[in-house]
Structure 1
Amino acid sequence: MPGSSLWLVPPPSSPIYKTLQTLIDSIIPSRFPNLQPPHFVPHVTLTSDIPADLADPQALLGSIDLPSAGDVVVHFEALDVGEAFVKKLTLRVENDDGGVGVVELATSCRRKGVEGGDTKKAEEWARKKFMPHCSLLYSGIDLTKVEEKREQLLQDLREAGIAVGSKDDKGSINAWTGGSVWFVPTHKSIEEWSPVAKRPLV
């Protein structure tokens, strides 16, 4: 992945954090017994392309105008299968009126981290290119093999308590509010994708 990235990570104490981590680490891989996908933390990538040689990641985080935690709601609307290694299986995140604060947060991160403070460029990127998602599987497996198991995977999600697209299912945990923004050196190998700076939404 080009450059470093800023991630939005759900609150570690939230039920959805544990649920997503279990899906990533065990439930989803169990559907593909010949795979050994890498471990990663549940997150939504707010932007990548941040210069890899940035001197002070924590200072960058401190300079971003972050919305309040209660204004950032990540809601899952669909399960997607894709070509890219890091998007092989993802939960699509609403980025219109349902993605409360997510686009605003990503735009702020892009403006400071990539566009040198240029609001117009950041807003254009958010409007044309930003496709928020929460990955469940990193893999080079052919997407058709994943697509074949879509119904089983949707059932796995339902059994875990995530009913994608449903806002009224009282038993579902298909959204989270707030969280922390992590600076992650995603230009390195996946084994080194650990945060070098963090800032909680408050």
Structure 2
Amino acid sequence: METEGKKLQSETERLVLRPLQNEDYNRWFEGCRDRLPSQYKYDNNKIDLSGWTQQKFNEDVVSKFKGYADRDKVYVFGVFRKSDQKQVGKVEIETIIRDEFQWGLLGYTIHNQFWRNGYGKEAVKEALNIAFKNLEFHRVEAHINIDNEPSLKLAKSVGMEFECIRKGFIFEFDEWTDNIVYFMNSK
């Protein structure tokens, strides 16, 4: 799978990372539907799936994400387990700026019914490989809420380095919140 010459599919020992396709609707729906109740503050609640048809998925997810990738804005990768093709989550790499910076932002979500299996670490590690080798970023950052311990541990576990705390960095929960920045540069 490629977008303008960029290879956008990769595999690890247990996972496949690739853009979502129309044929993924049932796997996507099942992954969202089977989420457990929220486990902590940063664990998203179940998604209201009423109204999510195959057509809506094709238009609002697959086509939209492909358009973002075609414009080098955001690359969204479904994370699929090889053993049964279940979608266990997603990772995304957003372009902050190209030019002389080649700088991207990493985001990740593993459905909570698949936690504690190492899928997050495996997927994020591979997403960083894609970011550096296939998408040719020089620097990738993760912006993490200061009290989001699982995410902080994950960033550290894949070799990202602490850089700073950005004060009042993002508007969420109806206020400007601080974020810890972890980063990795290409080698």
Tell me, yes or no, whether TM beats 0.5: no
Q: What's the TM-score once normalised by structure 2's chain length?
A: 0.26
Q: Which has the higher helix share?
A: 1
Q: What's the TM-score once normalised by structure 1's chain length?
A: 0.25
Q: Which has the higher strand share?
A: 2
Higher relative contact order (CA 8 A, sep 6+): 1
